[in-house]
Amino acid sequence: MKDTNKKNSEKVSAIFSSADFWLDKYQEMFSDFDPAPFERRMISEDFIEAVTRRFPEGSEEEIHFRISVPKAERSTKTEAVIVKRLKSYFRKMADRQEKSLRADQKRGAIYFVAGCVLLLTFVWVGLNMESVISQLLGVVFLPLGWFGVWEGTSRILSAPERYQKKLSLYQKLAGAKYEFFSEEELLRRIKKAEQERVGRAKK
């Protein structure tokens, strides 16, 4: 009895681990508030959140996106549209991350240059004008100058780290392999794999 229960438990575990998402219908991947066809319908934020939980940032492995849909609901044409939409969505998200990265680094460069200009101006004033004026300008220029240099350097160096993990995830999702199958197909695959395993064990 224990062996039978163990086998059944392993079978159920294999079924659930063989798919990343279990859907009752394709609509679950899209917004409930958008009546447009799948070609234009907004992708559900809940689904995207589930995707980012399933495939965490920083993972080195390639992504194989496996989705289970009931056999009666499946449509090859619809699945092709969904894969195209998902790849397009994640490609756009990757582009946004790249733009944000470049914008942050650009702001960092502006801070750095502005800080250097203020510091050099203070030095020039100190060498060419009265000490009183130099001291007055130093009260303003020195703190602002050093702030610009340090803030700019920090932004330039830390920006890749802040954006790279999400950028890498979205790029992987845009280039991932997407596979749809029904529970019936999955059961056949598991049964076939089990038969092959038993056959190898007998040899």
Dihedral (CA of 93, 99, 105, 107) sign: negative
The pLDDT, as a whole number, for residue 13 is: 43
Distance CA 67, CA 55 (A): 14
Strand partners, 177: 64
Quote the pTM value.
Answer: 0.72
CB 31 within 8 A of CB 41: yes
Low-confidence ranges of the chain (pLDDT < 70): 1-19, 58-60, 126-139, 195-196, 198-203
Tell me the pLDDT tens digit for each residue of 164-194: 888 888 998 998 889 898 877 777 777 777 7
User: Containing H/E element for 13?
Assistant: helix 2-17
